[in-house]
Structure 1
Amino acid sequence: MPSPIRILTAVPICDGHDSAINTINLEFIRHGIEVIYLGYHRSVGDIVRAAIQEDVGAIGISSYNGGHVEFFAEVVDLLRKHGADDIKVFGGGGGTITHDDVTAMRRKGVDQIFFAGTALSEMAGYVREHYGRPRKKRSPSKLRDIALARELTEVEDSYASRKRSTSNAQRPTSKGKIRNPQSAIRDPRVIGLTGPGGAGKTTLIDELVLRYLSSEGKGRIAILSHDPSVIGEGALLGDRATMINSQDDRVFMRSMATRGQAGGLSPATHDCLALLAQSDFDYVIIETVGTGQEAMPFQKNGIVDLTVLVMNPDYGSRLQLQKIVMLDLADIVVVNKSDLQRARTAHTEIEQRLEQNRRAQRLIDTVAKRHRDPGVDRLFDLISGKSVAAVYDRRNKKIRRS
């Protein structure tokens, strides 16, 4: 079976009209297309960076605020500048885009513009017909993100075409972790985040990324993010839409659909992680799909150095805690959204549950949406072995001196 078509959709900067693109995304998904949704108010640089890292076939832009001729053209130009002009650009904008605008946009390299009233099925059909074809052989790229993104695509495609199976995937070393064969590049620290849907995993990751970027003047971090899908169907890969701090050149992010595999990860996750381990990243963060009571996404093949379980205070009765397997396996348990009314009770109940395990597990309360949340600071300190508070103090002293 061929790999699903992958496209990126976004709304330009200074434009908050996302109703139309959300409807269009759902139609694409119904037609078997994997949609990486970047969200609204996104710059040209954000869009092109994401498209390159995701190695999509095309970018779909929904623009309702004007300035579309220039904005679309800048996206096309930046793709060309980076040597990624095999990624096509299409879009629409209701009544704000005129026929004369379309003529100008096509001259600048835009592939297609859909006018108001175009049937959703017609848009999906166009995407399937024009971006579902096998790509022509692409010349090697010297840009590291393009080269890495294409290698990740080859891995995912090999699983989709059944050239690989999970039984043939690269296995960990005897210590249980993927290790880098290139001694000149240090092994990244691999952090696995899992937990039920709606617990705030993506927001928490974005805040951890902010602290990493603030504490390290150099270096890069990678994120493998997962969303659910079934074999042969589309998927909404939407974690990028809620991320702000991760829109940075020092962050490499890849969105992956599970493509029918249970447990919260993709069939290709392990081999994709092996590729990232051969690149110069300080950390690799793996985020699973929203998981249930039975899920053990990282225990089976031991692919992470540290497992973080993120929970919402509203998990139900105390009996439910006894059923959550990951509470036995996680190194760190995070009660996110700890500003909610039931948070104190949740902390006490989870603490008592962890005491029964007789392991050196850590329990942390966070409010990931809150600026400079001390709980997120403590979590970053545990993961990195550094004090984020000291980093902020040094920065404030520099600001005062200047």
Structure 2
Amino acid sequence: MEQPKVYTPKNKVRIVTAASLFDGHDAAINIMRRIIQSTGVEVIHLGHDRSVAEVVDCAIQEDAHAIAMTSYQGGHNEYFKYMHDLLQEKGAGHIKIFGGGGGVILPKEIEELMEYGITRIYSPDDGRTMGLQGMINDLVKQSDYATPPLELNGEASLSKVLKEKEAGTLARLISLAENRPEDFEKEFARVETGSKNIPVLGITGTGGAGKSSLVDELVRRFLADFPEKTLGIISVDPSKRKTGGALLGDRIRMNAISDDRVYMRSLATRQSNLALSKHIQEAIDVLKAAD
């Protein structure tokens, strides 16, 4: 079989990858997320044994275009359908869902899931006919769209919506700063900034030094010691010079962030010679406005 040409996305595509709950089979999703990243995508990787709620909350906070899951534990019908329903319930029905599970997911189940609203479930036959890169090309191409614009309900002001700490609005504003800075400045100029002095703590270090684990422990203790306070986390990982793809993997070490008082957003540098995203200040400003 001839190796297909790698698809080049037109937008800065962001995809959440994970293996499903009670599923320790992570070899397949690790292979897929590497190919997705090498295709120029910013990949937010969660690892294995992830619940629907964890994946959906992550996708909304990260303003993801799609979710790509593997499921080898036999509960794929309920898992994917619940994921679809939860995205719809949370107003994030635009986020596409892709999945695979080898021979565990039967052809009739694939048909049923796709009729239900799952974008695509890949089968072993797809792997044979399309190849790995062919399947990833199809996934990325269907995920290559501009995320919906920032929309407010009724007469609600942006300042008021931010104070409510609605994750989708926070995510959309940060994406606006990354992708359309002029539009962000126009929107954010309407936000009333408070007078409170909100502390910002920066943590850096070499790869593998334990930054994510340290942050997770700080989050755990902060939530326990300050039950009325909220916390925002912005993590930054480098983009590849050749492809523009990035592995945003800090969430995989975060065990304490599944709390309504925590918002986390992963940013890619989008330049290979930088340690921080150019839009880190705008992201901080958005989180401060949500205090």
TM-score of the superposition, structure 2-length normalised?
Answer: 0.84
User: Structure 2 residue aligned with 1:88, among 68, 91, 96?
Assistant: 96
The match for 2:179 is 157
Q: Secondary structure at the match of 1:90?
A: strand
Question: Once the 2 structures are TM-superposed, how far is the Cα of residue 61 of structure 1 from its aligned partner?
Answer: 0.9
Q: Percent identity?
A: 38
The one-letter amino acid of 1:153's match is S
Question: Once the 2 structures are TM-superposed, how far is the Cα of residue 38 of structure 1 from its aligned partner?
Answer: 1.2
Kept in 1, the 8 Å contact 2:239–2:270? The answer is yes
Deviations 1:72-121 (A, max 9, x none): 11111111111111111111011100111112212321110011251211
Deviations 1:180-237 (A, max 9, x none): 95337x3421000001111100001001110011112222111110111145511111
Distance in 2, matches of 1:86 and 1:212, equals 34
Question: Once the 2 structures are TM-superposed, how far is the Cα of residue 3 of structure 1 from its aligned partner?
Answer: 4.2
Kept in 2, the 8 Å contact 1:38–1:240? The answer is yes
Q: Secondary structure at the match of 2:207?
A: coil
The one-letter amino acid of 1:205's match is V
- Stretches of structure 1 lacking an aligned partner (at least 5 in a row): 169-179, 281-402
RMSD: 2.2
Kept in 1, the 8 Å contact 2:15–2:41? The answer is yes
The match for 2:158 is none
Q: Secondary structure at the match of 2:201?
A: strand
- Stretches of structure 2 lacking an aligned partner (at least 5 in a row): 1-8, 154-160, 186-190
Distance in 2, matches of 1:48 and 1:248, equals 13
Distance in 1, matches of 2:40 and 2:135, equals 13
Q: Secondary structure at the match of 1:193?
A: coil
CA distance 1:216–1:30, change in 2 (3 Å): same
Do residues 219 (structure 1) and 221 (structure 2) align?
no
Distance in 2, matches of 1:156 and 1:27, equals 24
Kept in 1, the 8 Å contact 2:14–2:44? The answer is yes
Kept in 1, the 8 Å contact 2:20–2:70? The answer is yes
Bigger Rg, which one: 1
Q: Within 5 A, what are the aligned runs for 1:115-134?
A: 115-116=123-124, 118=127, 119-134=131-146
Do residues 262 (structure 1) and 280 (structure 2) align?
no
CA distance 1:17–1:217, change in 2 (3 Å): same
Question: Once the 2 structures are TM-superposed, how far is the Cα of residue 261 of structure 1 from its aligned partner?
Answer: 5.2
Kept in 1, the 8 Å contact 2:236–2:267? The answer is yes
TM-score of the superposition, structure 1-length normalised?
Answer: 0.61
The one-letter amino acid of 1:147's match is T
Deviations 1:250-279 (A, max 9, x none): 211111111115342111111111111111
Question: Once the 2 structures are TM-superposed, how far is the Cα of residue 10 of structure 1 from its aligned partner?
Answer: 1.1
Q: Secondary structure at the match of 1:128?
A: helix
The one-letter amino acid of 2:283's match is C
Question: Once the 2 structures are TM-superposed, how far is the Cα of residue 133 of structure 1 from its aligned partner?
Answer: 2.3
Kept in 1, the 8 Å contact 2:16–2:59? The answer is yes
Distance in 2, matches of 1:189 and 1:21, equals 38
User: Structure 2 residue aligned with 1:114, among 109, 122, 143?
Assistant: 122
The match for 2:13 is 5
Kept in 2, the 8 Å contact 1:39–1:242? The answer is no
Kept in 2, the 8 Å contact 1:230–1:258? The answer is no
Q: Secondary structure at the match of 1:217?
A: coil
Kept in 2, the 8 Å contact 1:8–1:51? The answer is yes
Distance in 2, matches of 1:137 and 1:48, equals 19
Do residues 199 (structure 1) and 221 (structure 2) align?
no
